[in-house]
Amino acid sequence: MILTLTVGPMSHGGHCVARHEGRVVFVRHAVPGETVRAVVTDGGEKARFWRADTIDVLEPSDHRRRHPWKQADALRAYNHGQVPVGGADYGHITDVHQRRLKAHVFRDTLQRIGGIDISALDLPELGPEGELTTRQLPGADASGMHWRTRVSFGVVEGSLGMKPHRSHDLIPLRAMPLAVEAVGASGIFTWDFSGAASVDVVAPGGEGPLSLIITTEDPSRLPKGLQKLAEETPEVASILLRSPEGQDYQVLTGEREITEELPVPVVGDSGDIQESVQLAPEGFWQIHRRAPEQLVSTVDRMAKLGTGGTAIDLYAGAGLFTAWAAHRVGHSGQVLSVEAAEGSSAAAERLFAARAGVEVVCAAAEKIARRLERSDLVVLDPPRTGAYRKVLEGIDQAGPGQIIYVSCDPASFARDAKGLLQLGWQLRGLEVLDMYPNTHHMESVALFERR
């Protein structure tokens, strides 16, 4: 079914909201205010709402542009009888308007789920009329390309591929321009990955050389020349083979660990300096090339943490914010770093082995929340699902001076922000960062203090 719709505001998830005969229709690949023709992709007569994709624009917005990635361009794909790959659902919108829409979505989500009216708060980050903005990261250009340091691909007929939105099918890729330049320069889009189920590509520091993590049930089914090809490609440093369960790794060539530079070095008690962290293949690290230093600098501006202070880093990963906190409190302070993933926690254990004032605990935040002791600051950077009430109550009972909440999902953040306000905290600082250009995703850093 094809509908003619005038679309309304952007909602969380990259859909514009429209209405057809009283029914809500969530429309992808449109810009608010446009009149479009859209094909219904999901929904029947009894459905509460429908989903649709834009296939033609009758009245375009001034904020529409030519999509910089051809295979993700919905209009181009549908005009050629194809479907676009996912992963760049804001690419048809000018970069300035992308950030404006993200600020609107964040504001509306915080109001709808959290019951928080940002314009009524006295936040230093708001504009002169109380408006929220989304901050562009340094080094970004108007195209919004070449920022991803980590990309996961499927494999279709030996080629790297990606899925369309809400589809299990794979489309072979000729390129992935959201990825840093090192990915395209490596030539891996011409390689034969037959026998692989998926390929994860990592470009440490955004520069490479690359590490390829190939998931396969049977390594003997991989092309025989793959190892030699990697060894002859200077842009590729290592290939690791992973079992489908994701627990066993075999080094085909190169090193097992992935090295990432730290924005703030770790100084050991004897004066030795570590400027990087060695990550396990499954270890988490921020995917935007500028994200680690930008997140750390944002947290640094908000925090009141000083020499001799105490800090807790929940959902700490390999220790990005732990390293920053250890620097701020110095050797006379104390930092507790809590991470549930064994590989990331082990990386943090190695990183801070020479710092007596840093304790690394491998545990789920909800398991340890009730045992937290008083500190000057709690930093938490939970996964997309958020922290939930049990963790928030544990933090509250520990009575820190400040809470800094780093989030990659406005909806879960809004839910948790509401929970903190109910526990007697006040939102005192908020920044939204455009860490995922050309997508609907965004990052936020929020400061909470006691009322």
Q: What is the 3-state secondary structure (H, E, C) of the chain?
A: CEEEEECCCEECCCEEEEEECCEEEEEECCCCCCEEEEEEEECCCCCCEEEEEEEEEEECCCCECCCCCHHHCHHHHHHCCCCCCCCCCCCCECHHHHHHHHHHHHHHHHHHHHCCCHHHCCCCCCCCCCCCCEEECCCCCCCCCCCECEEEEEEECCEEEECCCCCCCCEECCCCCCECHHHHHCCHHHCCCCCCCEEEEECHHHCCCEEEEEECCCHHHCCCCHHHHHHCCCCEEEEEEECCCCCCEEEEECCCCEEEEEEEEEECCCCCEEEEEEECCCCCCCCECCHHHHHHHHHHHHCCCCCCCEEEEECCCCCHHHHHHHHHHCCCCEEEEEECCHHHHHHHHHHCCCCCCEEEEECCHHHHHHHCCCCCEEEECCCCCCCHHHHHHHHHHHCCCEEEEEECCHHHHHHHHHHHHHCCEEEEEEEEEECCCCCCCCEEEEEEEEC
Answer for the pair 90, 438: CB distance below 8 angstroms, yes or no.
Answer: yes
**217 annotated to a ligand binding site:** no
- Token representation of residue 77: 């794909």
- Residues forming the active site: 408
Taking each helix axis from N to C end, the angle separating 291-302 and 320-329, rounded to the nearest 10 degrees, works out to 40
**Which strands sit side by side in the sheet containing 171-172, from one edge to the other?**
171-172, 159-162, 150-156, 198-202, 210-215, 236-242, 249-253
**Cis preceding-peptide flag for 177 (omega within 30 of 0):** no
Dihedral sign, CA of 190, 192, 194, 196? negative
Number of alpha carbons in the 13 Å side-chain half-sphere of residue 101:
30
**257 annotated to a ligand binding site:** no
Residue numbering of the annotated binding site for S-adenosyl-L-methionine: 286, 315, 339, 381
Residue numbering of the annotated binding site: 286, 315, 339, 381
